[in-house]
Structure 1
Amino acid sequence: MSPVIFGSMRMDESKGNEDYWAELLYAAYYAGIDTVHSSSEYESFPLLIKTLKKLALIDKKVKFKHVVKLAEPHFSDSEYSSERLKEKLNDYLTKLQVERLEAIQWMWRSNLPDSKRIESFLDHHKKIRLDLEILKQENLISSALCFPYSVEFMKEALRLQVFDGFCVYRNPKELEYDDILKECDRQTVISIRPFAADKRLISSEGPIHLLDYNFADSAISNTILSISSLSQLNEIKGFLNV
């Protein structure tokens, strides 16, 4: 995966249709961004699918890798299900028209207090580990990353070594995971929201400085960045060494 991953959450038809976004993704790909992060829960997901189909018509050489959010169990579920995990994965493969996902951003969602959520995860972690290993053996995913929702959940997931790595928020304003990142292996964590969605922070610090800040931690291998214009892409080309 490229160090910078194209975040699709803020793709919006008010900014442009699939032709607009196909042009932007085309430029991003040839600037060195070869991976897209998406979620079927995002309002932007249908637009992303249309954009990828349009892009395939423009240039068949453009082949993005994909990182997707996959919650199992979801808020409405009482416990973990291997069958639902596989169904959700297959749905992504079908809609994205790929044979393998580069990574899934797995999460245990629950309306329970965090301590109960962790307790349930501990009860099911062996089954989750086995299911993820099977998916990798079947070449349906390359890796499984955990979005923990809390530092305490991440501590348990790290101790049990269920996942290949983690996805966490990291920027100068969201530092709650910084201490536990020191316990992670090198290049095993994808950071989310490196700019904190804060225009004042971006203008004061500058995008390159904020990217450098993220990668200053040795655990960080990639960062998910929402890009919505060619001018924004041009602002980070220096970081991409293009």
Structure 2
Amino acid sequence: MEELKNKLSLSSITLGTMRFADKNMSVEEVIRLIEEANDIGITTHHSSYEYSSYELYCNALKKTSCKNNLKHIAKISAPHFEDSEFSFNNLEERVDNELERLNVDTIDVLQWLVRSKPINDIDRLHTLNSQQKEIEEGLNTLKNKGKVKSVFSFPYSVNFAEEVIKISVVDGIVAYLNHEEKEYEPFANSKPFIAIRPFFAGKLIEKLGVEASLNYTCGQKGVLSTIVGINRLSHLESYKKFL
């Protein structure tokens, strides 16, 4: 675990970009947020082409002075909802699109999702088990080509997490972890882990506060980084202690 942590060198807090558009931020405001976050040590970003903020984020990112200093966690699915099975060609195309939009040579963490329509473990575990060879070879190819440094699974369920982490090419788990959602706590203490939603969609900020919430999430021994949605410069001060 320590070797992977050193290899990735993610900041302990990751800038979540999902809500930029929802908060009506301008390109200039996002640029300033990215740069001031970088100045205090938030050098890892989480993004997805599925987010309404993606265009805004990409437009701002390319104008920042710190863009070459940043690490990226990119959320990509294969198979996606409409796909009937895992396709390496589809996955590589989606990764290539991310590399182009983010203007980077490699994605530090591929947040990989196995989806079905509707989401259910029966279909998703069938994909995992019936196509394990193709999946392993495909993810290894992306690593060997230098397009991704690591693969973390967003599992949707504990059952899926228990199976997907057995695949050698999968480096860790990325999932919800907070005082109310503790299902993945065993993984966060035994496997490389990236935490999402430390404030339980904001509910814990009023109940416990930022510091107590992050003390729990960041305190699990496998947590390499915690993704936090930050939309205001004034919020940055709250995270300095954890960097």
TM over 0.5: yes
Among 17, 25, 28, which residue is 1:19 paired with? 28
User: Which consecutive unaligned segments of at least 5 residues does structure 2 have?
Assistant: 1-9
Measure how far apart 1:136 and its partner are: 1.2
Which position in structure 2 is the counterpart of 1:189? 193
User: Which consecutive unaligned segments of at least 5 residues does structure 1 have?
Assistant: none
CA distance in 2, matches of 1:101, 1:230: 26
Say whether the 8 Å CA contact 2:13–2:242 is kept in structure 1.
no
Say whether the 8 Å CA contact 1:26–1:62 is kept in structure 2.
no
More moved, 217-226 vs 204-213? 204-213
Q: 1:234 to 1:181 in 2, by over 3 A?
A: closer
Q: 1:133 to 1:29 in 2, by over 3 A?
A: same
Which position in structure 2 is the counterpart of 1:154? 161
Measure how far apart 1:118 and its partner are: 0.5
Among 131, 134, 141, which residue is 2:141 paired with? 134
How high is the sequence identity, in percent, across the aligned residues?
A: 36
Which position in structure 1 is the counterpart of 2:207? 204
Say whether the 8 Å CA contact 2:195–2:226 is kept in structure 1.
yes
Q: 1:61 to 1:86 in 2, by over 3 A?
A: closer
Secondary structure at the counterpart of residue 166 of structure 2: helix
Say whether the 8 Å CA contact 1:19–1:54 is kept in structure 2.
no
Which position in structure 2 is the counterpart of 1:8? 17
Among 233, 237, 240, which residue is 2:240 paired with? 237
Among 48, 54, 63, which residue is 2:57 paired with? 48
Q: Which amino acid aligns with 1:24?
A: L
Say whether the 8 Å CA contact 1:11–1:44 is kept in structure 2.
yes
Secondary structure at the counterpart of residue 76 of structure 1: coil
CA distance in 1, matches of 2:94, 2:68: 25
TM-score by length of 1: 0.91
Among 225, 230, 238, which residue is 1:227 paired with? 230
Measure how far apart 1:160 and its partner are: 3.2
Q: What do residues 12-40 of structure 1 show as CA deviations (whole Å, max 9, x unaligned)?
A: 27542110111111000011011110000
Q: Which amino acid aligns with 1:23?
A: R
4+ long deviations beyond 6 Å: none
| Aligned-pair Cα RMSD in Å | 1.6
Measure how far apart 1:95 and its partner are: 0.8
Which position in structure 1 is the counterpart of 2:124? 117
CA distance in 2, matches of 1:75, 1:13: 24
Which position in structure 2 is the counterpart of 1:72? 78
Measure how far apart 1:204 and its partner are: 3.0
Measure how far apart 1:132 and its partner are: 1.3
Which position in structure 2 is the counterpart of 1:216? 219
Q: Which amino acid aligns with 2:233?
A: L
CA distance in 2, matches of 1:181, 1:230: 29
CA distance in 1, matches of 2:90, 2:164: 21
